[in-house]
Amino acid sequence: MCGIIAFTGNQAAAPILLDGLRRLEYRGYDSAGICVFNRKKLYNWKSSGKLSALESLLPDSILGSTGIGHTRWATHGAPTNENAHPHVDTTGRIAVVHNGIIENVDSLRLSLLPAKTALLSETDTEILAHAIAHTATKQGGPLIDAVRTVLRQVIGTFGIAVIDRDNPGTLIVARSGSPVILGIGDGEMFAASDVSALSRYTRELVHLDDGEVAELTPQGFTVTTLDASPREKKSTHLQGQLEEHDKAGYAHFLLKEINEQPETVKRAISGRLDEAFSTAHLGGLNLQARDLLDVKRIVILGCGSALYAGMAGAHMIETLARIPATAEAAAEFRYRNPVIEASTLYIAVSQSGETFDTLAAIREIKRKGGFVLGLVNSVGSTIAREVDGGVYMHAGPEVSVASTKAYTSMLTLFALIALLLGRTRDLSVQQGSGLVTSLHNLPVQIDYVLQQHKKIASIAKKIAHSQSAFFIGRTDGYPVALEGAQKLKEISYIHAEAYPASELKHGPLALVTEKTPCVVILQDSDLLAKNISTLEEINARSAPIIAVTDSDEPRIKKLAAHVIDIPKGDALLQPIVMGVALQLLAYHCALHLKRDVDQPRNLAKSVTVE
Ligand code: F6R
């Protein structure tokens, strides 16, 4: 979703802003802009479309060492030049970039703007530029006071960065519901909505919390609340290798991330398997064995692919630990006034750690006294900081908008949690030990699927021109089907629906024809006979079947047009391996249709608004 980068120091701001915007591109955007202060004036450039469109407007050299930049993902108003950020007030004094949504635009306009203020865009953000400029002029005093006065009246969410023609070298940033991180440099300061825009310049970071406003100058920063109370903030040092957004020779980030999965799965389990007791060791949960024994129910929350990972995770937990477990759309959770129980363990799942709806669900649970764990990829993200305990995925930055490696890591972590909970209950040493071995073997299983990329590409070629496709799975195959359909929709724009196999004849069969490929997940389980009947039903309607299976049953080959072979393995982990085949299928369909694989239309990487 929208991205912010801001800089103040003693070197040219524009190259830093543009580099930051490039690093934010992966979040998805449809317009971009930068504004730089130089010699008593703000210079603002913005354009709809990709960064290259903005760059084509820029002069060869841009002087000025304080500036702000933004990638916009349209919410209020179309992705036009006018609606792109930064927004500058009518007097040319204040420039603002904003992530989030302001809900009381009309009342702010009435209360904070002179009656005749002409608005040039359809955005909610423009109001902020005018309101801050007008209030700063009216109130006098430091710019930060005017920013606080305006923000106290805003209803909605914001991460903002502001520069002022009349306060050279000063940057004001603020946060409420949309992330803002400060970066401390040597005689310079940075701010961004995402660590990836900062990590090349500094590793000393300060995460703003909701309701905080910071004033940045090249010499340092101060943080206060919206009510001007001072806040002591500690910086954190960004650990690990500097992760460059680099395709490493692959055509797309998506393909690179699909191929990284043997390695990322290894990282997810690394140091977390306890061979001696055939269990998992997850120190970050902040729960003792006794606490785990007291858990009576598990509710998993997430959005999109994280929700589907949660559904697969609930199945794993019920299978191994026999604790009732369900997964629920985080976005719906707080609106249904959920009953929160002390004996229920809540688990929030998020790659970015910034998804607004997941965060809102966590806050609802905590407000009612519940205990929430987080499965998060992005280190130091808001969700990682707000949960009561959790486990990091360690998948590394996921740049492509469609989730792949983070999704498989989510499932892998659920397998570890299921093992841990199972071993505190009735799962035997032998069963636990079998799963530990299978987990170690998981990267090899995934690699086996990756080796079939040519075959999968040829299947994709045959279905890529279909209008619609079905993904069918039974029990733990159903979340696999949901995620497979999600991947195909997202990146190829082919309409895809997932159904539990048993539901097929309760409606969707009416749409199954020779023109609707059906991808069927067939686990080698005692339900195989039922799944073969499903194949028969589909085959009778002449729909081409793509079977994804670890079974050798000859009837599958007879009924299916194509078979993607999955190596035999632990039934609990097969959904992870099968999911990889579906990622490749979606990728090759998208490639064949010449889609923008890494940045599909209308989608953002990190959905930080409701
Ligand atoms: C799908 C996808 C989205 C995300 C969802 C949640 O490929 O990427 O459906 O899974 O927006 O995002 P996180 O995991 O960051 O909370």
- Ligand 1, atom nearest to 606 Cα: 15
E strands within 442-551?
Answer: 468-473, 495-500, 518-522, 545-549
**Quick one: pLDDT at residue 244?**
61
pLDDT of residue 28 exceeding 90, the answer is: no
**342 pLDDT higher than 70:** yes
Identify the pLDDT of residue 76.
Answer: 77
d(CA 164, ligand 1 centre) in Å: 36
Alpha helices in 476-600 (DSSP H): 477-492, 528-540, 554-559, 574-592
Write phi, then psi, for 116 (nearest 5 degrees).
-95, 10
Band of residue 1 on the pLDDT scale cut at 50, 70, 90: confident
Closest residue by CA, ligand 1 atom 16: 350
Ligand 1 centroid – CA 404 distance (Å): 10
CA angle 92-99-107, nearest 5°? 70
pLDDT digits (tens, 9 = 90+) for 177-215: 899 999 999 999 999 999 889 989 999 999 999 999 999
Q: Which of 317, 323, 320, 379 is nearest to 350 (CA)?
A: 379
**Ligand 1 within 6 A of CB of 303:** yes
- Residue to substitute in 27, 257, 305 for testing ligand 1 pocket (most ligand atoms within 8 angstroms of CB): 305
pLDDT at 240: 63
Query: What integer is the mean pLDDT of 569-592?
Result: 98
pLDDT in the model for residue 527: 92
Residue 65 beta carbon below 6 angstroms from any ligand 1 atom: no
From 26-35, 227-236, 548-557, the region with the lowest mean pLDDT? 26-35
What value does the mean pLDDT of the chain take? 95
pLDDT in tens, 209-266: 999 999 999 999 999 999 999 999 999 988 765 566 778 899 999 999 999 999 999 9
Strand order in 41-48's β-sheet?
A: 41-48, 31-38, 66-72, 3-8, 189-192, 181-184, 204-207, 236-237
Q: What is the model's pTM?
A: 0.88
Ligand 1 proximity of 597 Cβ (cutoff 6 Å): no
- Which of 1, 254, 303 to probe ligand 1 with, by most ligand atoms within 8 A of CB? 303
* Backbone phi, psi, residue 83, to 5°: -80, -15
Per-residue pLDDT, averaged over 376-401, amounts to: 94
Residue in the block written with tokens 């398997």: 273
Instruction: Report pLDDT for 444.
Output: 98
For residue 10, what are the β-bridge partners? none
- For a ligand 1 pocket test, name from 308, 328, 333, 355 the mutation site with the most ligand atoms within 8 angstroms of its C-beta: 355
pLDDT tens digit string along 470-529?
A: 999 999 999 999 999 999 999 999 999 999 999 999 999 999 999 999 999 999 998 999
Q: Give the model's confidence band at 574: pLDDT under 50 very low, under 70 low, under 90 confident, else very high.
A: very high
Q: Is the CB of 260 under 6 A from ligand 1?
A: no
Rounded alpha-carbon distances, angstroms, from residue 236 to 180, 232, 562: 14, 13, 51
Is there an atom of ligand 1 within 6 Å of 66 CB? no
What is the pLDDT, as a whole number, of residue 10? 96
Query: Given the DSSP bridges, would you call strands 545-549 and 94-99 parallel, antiparallel or unpaired?
Result: unpaired
Mean pLDDT computed over 301-313: 98
Q: Does residue 274 have a pLDDT over 60?
A: yes
pLDDT for residue 214: 98
What ranges make up the beta strands (E) of 39-93? 41-48, 66-72, 87-88
Cα 307 to ligand 1 centre (Å) = 8
Q: Is the CB of 583 under 6 A from ligand 1?
A: no
Between 311 and 114, the higher pLDDT residue: 311
Ordered domains of the chain (ranges, CATH):
2-237 (3.60.20.10), 247-449 (3.40.50.10490), 452-596 (3.40.50.10490)
Q: Which residue has the tokens 């750690």?
A: 353
The predicted pLDDT at position 241 comes to 56
Task: Tell me, in angstroms, the distance from the centre of ligand 1 to residue 305's CA.
Answer: 5
Please tell me whether residue 586 adopts helix, strand or coil conformation: helix
- Can you give the pLDDT at residue 222? 98
| Cα 131 from Cα 572, distance rounded (Å) | 56
User: Can you tell me the distance from the alpha carbon of 524 to that of 531, in angstroms, rounded to the nearest whole number?
Assistant: 10
Q: Is the CB of 307 under 6 A from ligand 1?
A: no
Cβ proximity of 223 and 233 under 8 Å: yes
CB 579 within 8 A of CB 484: yes
Cβ–ligand 1 contact at 304 (below 6 Å): yes
Q: Quick one: pLDDT at residue 243? A: 60
Please say if the pLDDT value at position 466 is more than 90: yes
Question: What is the whole-number distance in angstroms between the Cα of residue 542 and the centre of ligand 1?
Answer: 34
Per-residue pLDDT band for 435 (boundaries 50, 70, 90) equals very high
| CA–CA separation, 435 and 573 (whole Å) | 9
Contact 347, 373 (CB under 8 A): yes
pLDDT at 74: 87
* Catalytic annotation, pick one of 2, 35, 303, 518: 2
- CA 608 / ligand 1 centre spacing (Å): 11
Q: What is the pLDDT of residues 85-110, one digit of tens each?
A: 999 999 999 999 999 999 999 999 88
**Cβ–Cβ < 8 Å for 140, 174:** no
Interior/surface letters 41-78, b for 16+ CB within 10 angstroms, e for the rest? ebbbbbbbebbeebeeeeeeebebbbbbbbbbbbbebe
Percent of the chain residues past pLDDT 70, beyond the cut: 99
User: CB-hemisphere CA count at 13 Å for 152?
Assistant: 12
Q: How far apart are CA 251 and CA 259, in angstroms?
A: 12
**Is residue 2 annotated as a catalytic residue, yes or no?**
yes
Would you state the pLDDT for residue 519? Answer: 98
Find the helix packing angle between 574-592 and 453-463, rounded to 10°. Answer: 60
Indicate the residue type of 109: R
Whether ligand 1 lies within 6 angstroms of the CB of 544 is answered as no
